[in-house]
Amino acid sequence: MYSYDEPVYLISVVAKILEIHPQTLRQYEKEGLIEPGRTDGKMRLYSQRDIDKIKTILRLTRDMGVNLAGVDIILRLKEKLDELDSINEELRNNLQKKSQGNQNIKIKQNSYEVILFHKKQ
């Protein structure tokens, strides 16, 4: 079985799976929205992650009417949010390790992670 990030699908296969023209995939690459892998012979190969990203692009363009420039902005913001979520998770874990045994620190977890410090009265 292949990993999620391993490029194994040819452009024709991806186009058929997603019911789009291969030229659409080439356009997405030209716009910088996707970066398929390449064989030594320069053939495009797509991973499952690429296919999922293309599905997101299609959803934004077809269902929500977003143009490709808007899609680019949305995808960049999503990448940044994912990066920040990862940093937040790491910081939260570090704080939790340090706060064990210290009752003055309370960690609140929700979609917007907030760390609250309670002062002793």
Examine the domain organization and report whether 60 and 107 are in the same domain: no
Which domain does 50 fall in, by range? Answer: 1-66
Q: How confident is the model at residue 12 (pLDDT cuts 50, 70, 90)?
A: very high
Shared domain for 77 and 56, answered yes or no, is no
CA–CA separation, 25 and 23 (whole Å): 5
* Higher per-residue pLDDT: 6 or 114: 6
Q: Tell me, yes or no, whether 58 and 90 share the same domain.
A: no
pLDDT given at position 101: 64
Whether residue 103 is predicted with pLDDT greater than 80 in this model: the reply is no
Shared-domain flag, residues 25 and 45: yes
Same domain, 110 and 79: yes
Regarding whether 40 and 88 lie in a shared domain, the answer is: no
Residue type, 13: V
Is the per-residue pLDDT at 54 higher than 90?
yes
User: Tokens 């991973």 map to which residue?
Assistant: 47
Q: What percent of the chain has pLDDT over 90?
A: 69
Question: Looking at 19, 48, 66, which one is the last position of a domain?
Answer: 66
Same domain? For 83 and 60 the reply is no
Question: What pLDDT is recorded for position 2?
Answer: 82
Residues 6+ apart with CB under 8 A from 113: 88, 92
Mean predicted lDDT score pLDDT of the chain: 86
Q: Structurally, how many domains does the chain consist of?
A: 2
Please indicate, yes or no, whether residues 20 and 52 belong to a single structural domain of this protein: yes
76 plus 20 within the same structural domain:
no
Mean pLDDT within 88-113: 72
